[in-house]
Structure 1
């Protein structure tokens, strides 16, 4: 996943060899603290408490469920889990938190599973979120196993660009729509458009075929604004909080999904 600063990190494996952003050493140059430090203590928990109460009529026996899409080798997933647990108070509702974390790269998921400090609470799964059978299959089975129909929150951290480059404009819109059907809140970190150019440039330097959709994308420019527009049109979601920008100039945006009654 590319950096938005003047000097980008150089992963030990060429970026062109991992066209989905699945760098094996990603957290060595973008550690979890880059995101976690922006999250106001207790604020996510406050939103999720309200979500859990609305779904379960104040039955605090139901856990908070989180879905981390594109989790890489899992360090950020663990940090997000710790963040939610550390901000837990008796008045905050459910103290139990369960994560389903997925990535398209089976090797990264194997690493995440091997180093998982909370195997009873964090589940890692090799999964292509763009494969609709995965939504109808393992994702819904995970939710059914915990007695819920949606996740309280979905995390999408520097993933949207890779979906967009590999699946085009329609793929990006479908990806975001899919997340809104699965999650009550979404915390999204979109990559800026200059990251798209950098990813395409690195691919060309390696003499590899360009991304299939890069030159035909019509959704471009201010990607944080574009993604906000996609999510909020027709009242499907609302932007409820901005957590600022990371050192890589990437916004952390929290959306609440509006369910029709």
Structure 2
């Protein structure tokens, strides 16, 4: 399900799953991680079993995954230094994306191969998702992740799988993660994505015109997670320069460190 290819590579805008090949150039990782407080991981998990397990869904080519990892572990000041052995004992991060070419790039460029795993996965396919996640969790004797990341992914799930798909996706993340950091795209991004496809002469997103969940998407995602998925909003870390909120949720159905 990679982006359609033209003679010179992916056509501009032809990324129906958000699998833009140069995404971090126009939404740099620093725009997100700078909003997160230092020491966040320690404050959320002061006494939890280590390593903590993280899940990043829709990681693209991995630049943001690596930046989040560095920030959470306080490694951002030495990005080119060798991977500290203690890092792998502190946090293991599993990152997945639907596009195998983006995952290949992430695997080749990752400075933390012992701590960050990248894999191609259609997260909405239960036949692929369930054994894949289970095998990772079983390596650590765990049944869930401590923290999940869903950074500018909800729109693509929504456009490609409809309202029901968005509800299913958020419920899955809530069931898998004790904490969940979400960056929902605002509704104007939906309209822009649809316009890009039309300019390319492609069929519109199958569900775009039938979506009933619309408008203030940060509020909608918050309402779904808190009212239907047994989570509570812990903190809003503000908005990025491109006007997307960073929202941290916590499961009310699972005690901290119970994964």
Same fold, TM exceeding 0.5? yes
| 1:34 aligned residue (31, 34, 46) | 31
Runs of 4 or more above 3 Å deviation: 12-16
Taking structure 1 as the reference length, the TM-score comes to 0.86
Change (3 A) 1:190 1:15: farther
What is aligned with 1:113? 107
Is 1:23–2:11 an aligned residue pair? no
| Structure 1: distance between partners of 2:138 and 2:233 | 28
| 1:64 aligned residue (48, 52, 56) | 52
- The question of whether the paired residues in 2 share the 8 Å contact of 1:165 and 1:214 is answered with yes
Change (3 A) 1:134 1:48: farther
Is 1:80–2:68 an aligned residue pair? yes
In structure 1, stretches of 5+ residues that fail to align are 1-11, 53-59, 88-93
| Structure 2: distance between partners of 1:208 and 1:238 | 39
| Structure 1: distance between partners of 2:220 and 2:46 | 29
Deviation, structure 1 residue 103: 0.2
> How do 1:97-112 residues align onto structure 2 when only pairs under 5 Å count?
97-112=91-106
| Structure 1: distance between partners of 2:228 and 2:104 | 40
| 1:130 aligned residue (103, 124, 129) | 124
| 1:212 aligned residue (201, 206, 227) | 206
Deviation, structure 1 residue 121: 0.5
In structure 2, stretches of 5+ residues that fail to align are 1-8, 76-87
- The question of whether the paired residues in 1 share the 8 Å contact of 2:178 and 2:250 is answered with yes
Kindly provide the CA deviation profile for residues 9-47 of structure 1, in whole angstroms up to 9, marking residues without a partner as x. Answer: xxx844542100100111111111010110011124311
| Structure 1: distance between partners of 2:71 and 2:52 | 13
- The question of whether the paired residues in 2 share the 8 Å contact of 1:15 and 1:203 is answered with no
| Structure 2: distance between partners of 1:133 and 1:82 | 32
| Structure 2: distance between partners of 1:106 and 1:235 | 30
| Structure 2: distance between partners of 1:135 and 1:48 | 26
* C-alpha RMSD of matched pairs (Å): 1.7
Change (3 A) 1:100 1:206: same
> How do 1:239-254 residues align onto structure 2 when only pairs under 5 Å count?
239-254=233-248
| Structure 2: distance between partners of 1:29 and 1:234 | 33
What is aligned with 1:192? 186
| Aligned-partner SS, 1:227 | helix
Deviation, structure 1 residue 260: 6.0
Count how many residue pairs are aligned between Structure 1 and Structure 2: 235
Is 1:226–2:220 an aligned residue pair? yes
Kindly provide the CA deviation profile for residues 161-214 of structure 1, in whole angstroms up to 9, marking residues without a partner as x. Answer: 000000000000000000011111100000000000000011111110000000
